[in-house]
Amino acid sequence: MKLSLLSLFSLAACTIATAIPANIESRQARRDPVQYNIDRVTAAVNNLNKVLAVGPGNDGSSATTYFQNSLNANKILIDELRAGTGEIKQVKGIYEAQALSIVLPVTSIVNSISTAATTWTKNKKAAVYVGAHNAVIDSITLLQAEAAGFVQAILDQENFFNSGVGSYTWVPSITTAYTTAIREYRKP
């Protein structure tokens, strides 16, 4: 009797264990990778701009903390952009209706990323003061490349250009904003 009771529990445990991954897999299959990554990047860029909006303060300690927090938020955004680019590149095309629905969110991402570049530029003196300017240059250079790659992955989707009104300015907008910021940080 004990053996059969143990067998029953083992069978139940195996059944539950196999049902859970199948359920997770079916939820992941229904997730739209383009919209999912747009949402994640939007959250990350909003967080970066929120952190940057605090400003470096009036003393070395608060400026150091500000740049540590800002560089960390920048890294999180870079990681989200990189992961999103990888997932979106695996998509073999999007529907025209989906293309229309993502134009505004991606435009918002591009504008927010460009706003971050302006804020980084505005805070150059504080970065130099606390010795963070080289770290900022490295970080924003990487952000420029990852942001342009993310947007390009969306632009490369089949059916996007049929509906992507105004999207031809996205990559140049990011490139221009960050080229200006990087150039400013490299000035003596």
Say if residue 26's pLDDT is above 80: no
Say if residue 32's pLDDT is above 70: yes
**pLDDT at position 24, please?**
45
Write the DSSP string, 40-107. HHHHHHHHHHHHHHT---SSHHHHHHHHHHHHHHHHHHHHHHHHHHHHHHH-----HHHHHHHHHHHH
Task: Tell me the per-residue pLDDT of 38-86, one tens digit each, with 9 for 90 and over.
Answer: 999 999 999 999 999 999 999 999 999 999 999 999 999 999 999 999 9
Question: What is the mean pLDDT of the segment spanning 148-154?
Answer: 94
Say if residue 163's pLDDT is above 80: no
Distance, in Å, from the CA atom of 32 to the CA atom of 22, rounded to the nearest integer, reads: 18
* Residue ranges covered by each domain of the chain: 1-30, 32-186
Task: Tell me the per-residue pLDDT of 123-141, one tens digit each, with 9 for 90 and over.
Answer: 999 999 999 999 999 999 9
Say if residue 148's pLDDT is above 70: yes
Say if residue 1's pLDDT is above 80: no
Lowest-pLDDT range of 17-26, 35-44, 92-101, 161-170:
17-26
Query: How many angstroms separate the Cα of 18 from the Cα of each of 21, 25, 26, 31, 56?
Result: 6, 11, 13, 21, 52
Say if residue 161's pLDDT is above 50: yes
pTM recorded for the entire structure? 0.81
Question: What is the mean pLDDT of the segment spanning 176-188?
Answer: 95
Residue 15: exposure state from Cβ atoms within 10 A (0-12, 13-18, ≥19): exposed
Task: Tell me the per-residue pLDDT of 81-95, one tens digit each, with 9 for 90 and over.
Answer: 999 999 999 998 888
